[in-house]
Chains A and B, each alone.
Chain A
Amino acid sequence: DIQMTQSPSSLSASVGDRVTITCRASQSISNYFSWYQHKPGKAPKLLIYAASSLQSGVPSRFSGSGSGTDFTLTISSLQPEDFGTYYCQQSFSTPFTFGPGTKVDI
């Protein structure tokens, strides 16, 4: 199985801050990679797919980059509604696997 790691595991930031979360795959996954936001009691939400494509309806302050093994999610100006846990996911090969998550506190 392809292992996904994320850093940091948690962070606390202020409104307006630029926030960066990184994810690393245990082997090259090209751009078969996505990011999700998950809030307690809610359905996880797709933010970024194909490593850098913004899902429809997702604010433009979210962006993704990377290819191969190293990926980054950036929130350019953190907003109060951005709290939650962010997960990365690879879909290069089955079983699909997720990173352990990064909890973002405002």
Chain B
Amino acid sequence: QVQLQESGPGLVKPSQTLSLTCTVSGGSISSGGYYWSWIRQHPGKGLEWIGYIYNSGTTYYNPSLKSRLSTSIDTSKNQFSLKLSSVTAADTAVYYCARNNRSGWFDPWGQGTLVTVSS
């Protein structure tokens, strides 16, 4: 079955750019009908949807992060990526990648990766 795995630095300095990659296995990221999302969870808090990218490169971002966010997709590597610029301590969170369909439910999810913003 499809599995997702996040990777990237666990520590980012304030004002720098947070970069994460999600590797998809067990299925093609080019499969029609699926969107590839990023979701985060601040320590002790709930879940916040960051945005998604489609295999065509079409994106939709949460307006709260849109000005600092960019995502990309590499179908040859079956990966998609997130870049969040000008990070602050408020961006410290566990970041998850997930697949969603057109109806918007997320399945499956990656295990998540903790990113800490600190000098």
- Which residues of A are interface residues toward B (Cβ below 8 A)? 32, 34, 36, 41-46, 49-50, 55, 87, 89-92, 94-101
CB B96 to nearest CB in A, in angstroms, measures 7
Number of interface residues of B (CB under 8 A): 21
Picked from B49, B96, B108, B112, the residue with its CB within 8 Å of the CB of A96 is B49
Question: Contact residues of B with A, CB < 8 Å?
Answer: 46-49, 60, 62-64, 96, 98, 100, 103-112
- Find out whether the CB atom of A87 lies under 8 angstroms from the CB atom of B64: no
> Which of A43, A87, A99 is in CB contact (< 8 Å) with B111?
A43
- The CA-CA distance from A32 to B104 in the complex, in Å, is 7
Q: Do residues B62 and A89 form an inter-chain contact, with CB atoms below 8 A?
A: no
Partner of B62, one of A90, A91, A95: A95
Most B Cβ at <10 Å: residue of A41, A89, A96: A96
Indicate the member of A34, A55, A87, A99 with the most B CB atoms within 10 Å: A34
Decide: A43 near B109, CB < 8 A? Known: A49-B103, A91-B103, A96-B104: yes
